[in-house]
A = this chain, B = another copy of it.
Amino acid sequence: MEFKITKDLILELEQHIVNKNDKELEALLNDMHHADIAEVLDKLDFEEATYIFKVLDSEKTAEILLELEDDLRENILSRLSAKEIAEELDELDTNDAADIIAELSQDLKAEVISELQDVEHAKDIVDLLRYDEDTAGGLMGKELVKVNENWNVLTCVKEMRIQAENVSRVHSIYVVDDENRLKGRLSLKDLLTTSTKTHISDVYIRKLNWVKVDDKDVEVARIMQKYDLEAIPVVDELGRLVGRITIDDIVDVIKEEAEKDYQLAAGITQDVETDDSILELTKARLPWLLIGMVIEVIASFVLKDNENAFRRYSTLIIFVPLLSATAGNIGVQASAIVVQGLANGSLKEFSRVYFSKEIAVAMISGSIISLLLLGYHSIMYQQYLVGLAISISMVVVILFAATLGTLVPLFLHKNKIDPAIATGPFITTANDIFGIILYFAVAKMILGF
């Protein structure tokens, strides 16, 4: 079961817009999920999308706003007054509202906040704006259900009915003391199966996971995954309950992190997608191409320098592409495993055990490749000493590439730089240069040119 945009639907909508059939538009769209409407709006042109946006009521459009592509959202917001934006935000959960406000200009921000109708909601939103977006504080929402440890189950259920009105999904019921310090939780199951007279302090679960407001988003993601949590409470420096993070926001963190690593590995510096403009796509890609170019110009010096050698031993030069491709591949493999190990916590810093293992893998792979190459070269060209020189150089280069591929991401990680950078064109081109230098150096030692 899934919604599919059809050409007919788009045509029908466009017809209704031309004829200003607002009633029909509402009837057609009110039944659709906001995520689907967002998908439809992304397919329409900007004028049409804005028209539809203004026809629907703010309960619906607020949710749609969250699902739109960034540029369309920015465009639509720029057409709304501060009051209209505030109306949208009044409908949203605090964390979603804060995310949208954070995108606005400084002036507009203040104006929109002053137009918010629900004062409690506004306070919560302003509070959330204080936190960095990549911390627990930046991810959390204020909507939660909490009960006092001194209540009984009946009071608790009554209070919860009131609190639940403002909470779209009840994940856990948090238990706090009189100072709002987090003490534990009540499970929904407990609520369904415990007698109403029971005292909360007798039934609540004292062990629970929580994070601090300034914990990093990726850390929160790791903890929630490890303990299979669907929501986690957030406490401030004094242990007071200030918010909660839900798994849907964590899914976004996980996806973004994975996409970022993947794009870095592919030599793309910004988060681009197939529907970005030519300029954006070029800007995200050209830097690595130019860095690669500068590095490879060095390679041209090394080759130029060794011109006499390969004029004398012509097979030396024809295996340069094989050598640099293999060095690049080994380097990327080595660094990818380290980057993933760092990401999932199985590797935390330089480990002698792991490094020795990597060197052993490189040694085995290198020996197999070198022996095959030696055999091939001997059969094809019958220059045994040259073949030997090429093969030995190959092993040296492979060992070096594996070392570099393992150590560079660890070094970056230690210096608080994203190690995923090391899996991209950087490691490939660096290995190219060092590989070519080592190759000719070793060959020179053996052949004595």
Contact B169 A230 (CB under 8 A): yes
> Which residues on B sit within 8 Å (CB–CB) of A286?
364-365, 368
> Which residues on B sit within 8 Å (CB–CB) of A165?
193
> Which residues on B sit within 8 Å (CB–CB) of A268?
333, 336-337
Chain B nearest CB: distance from A262 CB in Å? 5
Write out, one digit per residue, whether chain A residues 312-351 have a CB within 8 A of any chain B CB (1) or not (0): 0011011111101110111011011110110010110001
Minimum CB distance partner of A377 in chain B = B300
Count of chain A residues with Cβ under 8 Å from any Cβ of B? 114
Minimum CB distance partner of A222 in chain B = B2
Most chain-B CB neighbours within 10 Å: which of A2, A262, A432?
A262
> Which residues on B sit within 8 Å (CB–CB) of A192?
157, 160-161, 164, 170
Contact A326 B248 (CB under 8 A): no
Write out, one digit per residue, whether chain A residues 12-52 have a CB within 8 A of any chain B CB (1) or not (0): 00000000000000000001010100000000000000000
Chain B nearest CB: distance from A222 CB in Å? 9
Chain B nearest CB: distance from A358 CB in Å? 8
Q: Does A137 contact B (CB under 8 A)?
A: no
Contact A364 B35 (CB under 8 A): no
Minimum CB distance partner of A227 in chain B = B35
Q: How far, in whole Å, are A363 and B207 apart by their CA atoms in the complex?
A: 60
- Pick from B248, B273, B360: contact of A340, CB under 8 Å: B273
> Which residues on B sit within 8 Å (CB–CB) of A35?
226-228
Minimum CB distance partner of A63 in chain B = B228
Q: Does A407 contact B (CB under 8 A)?
A: no
Contact A297 B322 (CB under 8 A): yes
Contact A329 B290 (CB under 8 A): no
Q: How far, in whole Å, are A367 and B340 apart by their CA atoms in the complex?
A: 36
Contact B360 A274 (CB under 8 A): no
- Pick from B223, B263, B292: contact of A336, CB under 8 Å: B263
Q: Does A86 contact B (CB under 8 A)?
A: no
- Pick from B209, B285, B295, B299: contact of A1, CB under 8 Å: B209
In A409-449, which residues have CB < 8 Å from any B CB?
Answer: 423, 425, 428-429, 432, 436
Q: Does A186 contact B (CB under 8 A)?
A: no
> Which residues on B sit within 8 Å (CB–CB) of A278?
357, 360-361, 364
Q: How far, in whole Å, are A225 and B248 apart by their CA atoms in the complex?
A: 7
Q: How far, in whole Å, are A173 and B75 apart by their CA atoms in the complex?
A: 39
Q: Does A388 contact B (CB under 8 A)?
A: no
Q: How far, in whole Å, are A259 and B290 apart by their CA atoms in the complex?
A: 28
Q: How far, in whole Å, are A3 and B264 apart by their CA atoms in the complex?
A: 31
Chain B nearest CB: distance from A274 CB in Å? 4
Contact B282 A303 (CB under 8 A): no
Q: Does A261 contact B (CB under 8 A)?
A: yes
Q: Does A218 contact B (CB under 8 A)?
A: no
Contact B340 A292 (CB under 8 A): no
Contact B332 A319 (CB under 8 A): no
Minimum CB distance partner of A219 in chain B = B2
Q: Does A376 contact B (CB under 8 A)?
A: yes
Known A-B contacts: A225-B255, A307-B314. Give 7 more (CB < 8 A): A188-B188, A230-B247, A263-B340, A273-B340, A289-B330, A320-B320, A328-B428
Chain A residues with a Cβ under 8 A of chain B: 1-2, 31, 33, 35, 157, 160-161, 164-165, 167-170, 188-189, 192-193, 207, 209-212, 219, 223, 225-228, 230, 247-248, 250-251, 254-255, 258-259, 261-263, 265-268, 272-275, 278, 281-282, 285-286, 288-290, 292-293, 295-297, 299-301, 303-304, 307, 310-311, 314-315, 317-322, 324-326, 328-330, 332-333, 335-338, 340-341, 344, 346-347, 351, 354, 357-358, 360-361, 364-365, 368-369, 372-373, 376, 423, 425, 428-429, 432, 436
Q: List the 5 closest pairs (A to B, CB-CB), nearest first.
A: A266-B336, A258-B258, A296-B322, A274-B341, A303-B318
Could you list 20 A-B pairs, sorted by A, with CB under 8 Å? A1-B211, A2-B223, A255-B258, A259-B340, A262-B262, A266-B423, A281-B357, A288-B329, A289-B365, A290-B369, A290-B372, A292-B326, A293-B326, A295-B325, A296-B322, A299-B318, A300-B319, A320-B321, A324-B325, A325-B428
